[in-house]
């Protein structure tokens, strides 16, 4: 009898643990037709904060990341529209460290006309390195053959290759399917044209992002997040009129992203 009681208690304890282990913030689980558990992914965010490393707005990013963990996935590090000086300053290294501590991937900013091994190393061989590179304007023309040397170098350092053509040009797919690019931003700035966003549905949502600007209200932000997620795009940033300031609805955006499901 004592042995049976022990087994019952253990079974109940395991059921309790399993139940709560599925209630992970940022995801929901459902039963599929075969009775297996499949994960419904929620929208992730890339934040574009083009302000100084000592700007108090960083605290808003840290606080939002603490409150809604695993929702802010990427943050761009942009000292001077690219590298600034011989090495990343201690102020920037501190920002990177604070973001990494919260599980956020940091991306060093490089414009496509400034692509070089040295500029990649500026970020990725710093004492506190970024997790990858954000190649702005890359693949706006078909430059894949030349770009491979830079993407290969980032990958050799264990980094993420994130490109921003700003539009879903025909060649973007080949950047991704070739393995040279990990994620591509296929729409930038014009939120009023978001209905024109087209994607290759064979690509995983984790491979695609959009950045939507000129959004003025929380209601509009929620509408844009929902629209983007319904297209099967996994990462988004909705902002106001400038990258130099977080939108007034920033904390609401992180909260909304954390519960907005992506079309699979």
What is the C-alpha to C-alpha distance for residues 178 and 82, in angstroms, rounded to an integer?
A: 26
Q: Is the pLDDT of residue 75 over 50?
A: yes
Residue 205 resides in a domain? yes
Residue 59 confidence (pLDDT) above 60 = yes
* Pairing mode of beta strands 37-41, 27-31: antiparallel
Domain count, the chain: 1
In a domain, 64, yes or no: yes
Which one, of 86, 87, 82, lies nearest residue 113 by Cα?
82
pLDDT per residue as tens digits for the range 190-241: 656 655 566 677 899 999 999 999 999 999 999 999 999 999 999 999 999 9
Given a cut of 50, is residue 35 above it in pLDDT?
A: no
Can you give the CATH number for the domain in which 154 is found? 3.20.20.70
Burial of 56 by CB count in 10 Å (0-12 exposed, 13-18 middle, 19+ buried)?
A: exposed
Tell which wins on pLDDT, 149 or 188.
149
Compute how many other C-beta atoms are within 10 angstroms of the C-beta atom of residue 252.
Answer: 14
pTM across the whole model: 0.84
242 vs 232: CA distance, rounded Å: 26
Mean pLDDT over 23-51 rounds to 60
Has residue 18 been placed in a domain? no
Length of the chain: 264
Q: What is the reported pLDDT for 10?
A: 42
Q: Domain range spanning residue 82?
A: 42-257
Task: Measure the CA–CA gap between 199 and 8, rounded to whole angstroms.
Answer: 51
Residues 84-124 have pLDDT tens digits of: 999 999 999 999 999 999 999 999 999 999 999 999 999 99
Within-domain flag for 264: no
Cα-atom radius of gyration of the chain, to the nearest Å? 20
Give the span between the Cα atoms of 168 and 209, in whole angstroms: 10
Higher pLDDT, 3 or 71: 71
Within-domain flag for 71: yes
Residue at 263 is within a domain = no
Query: Which residue has 């939507």 as its token pair?
Result: 212
Q: What is the mean pLDDT of residues 134-153?
A: 98
With 70 as the cut, is the pLDDT of residue 36 above it?
Answer: no
pLDDT at 2: 40
């Amino acid at each position: 009898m004592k042995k049976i009681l022990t087994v019952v208690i253990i079974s109940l304890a395991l059921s309790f643990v399993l139940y709560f282990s599925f209630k992970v913030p940022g995801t929901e689980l459902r039963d599929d037709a075969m009775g297996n558990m499949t994960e419904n992914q929620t929208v992730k965010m890339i934040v574009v904060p083009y302000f100084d490393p000592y700007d108090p707005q960083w605290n808003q990013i840290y606080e939002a990341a603490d409150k809604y963990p695993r929702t802010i996935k990427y943050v761009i590090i942009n000292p001077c529209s690219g590298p600034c000086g011989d090495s990343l300053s201690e102020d920037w290294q501190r920002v990177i460290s604070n973001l990494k501590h919260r599980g956020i991937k940091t991306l060093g900013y490089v414009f496509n006309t400034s692509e070089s091994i040295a500029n990649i190393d500026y970020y990725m061989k710093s004492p506190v390195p970024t997790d990858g590179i954000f190649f702005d304007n890359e693949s706006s023309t078909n430059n894949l053959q030349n770009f491979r040397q830079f993407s290969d170098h980032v990958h050799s350092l264990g980094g993420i290759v994130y490109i921003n053509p700003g539009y879903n040009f025909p060649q973007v797919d080949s950047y991704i399917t070739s393995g040279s690019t990990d994620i591509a931003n296929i729409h930038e700035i014009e939120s009023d044209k978001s209905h024109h966003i087209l994607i290759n549905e064979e690509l995983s949502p984790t491979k695609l992002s959009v950045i939507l600007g000129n959004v003025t209200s929380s209601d509009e932000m929620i509408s844009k997040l929902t629209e983007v997620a319904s297209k099967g795009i996994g990462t988004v940033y909705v902002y106001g009129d400038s990258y130099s300031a977080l939108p007034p609805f920033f904390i609401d955006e992180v909260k909304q992203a954390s519960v907005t499901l992506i079309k699979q």
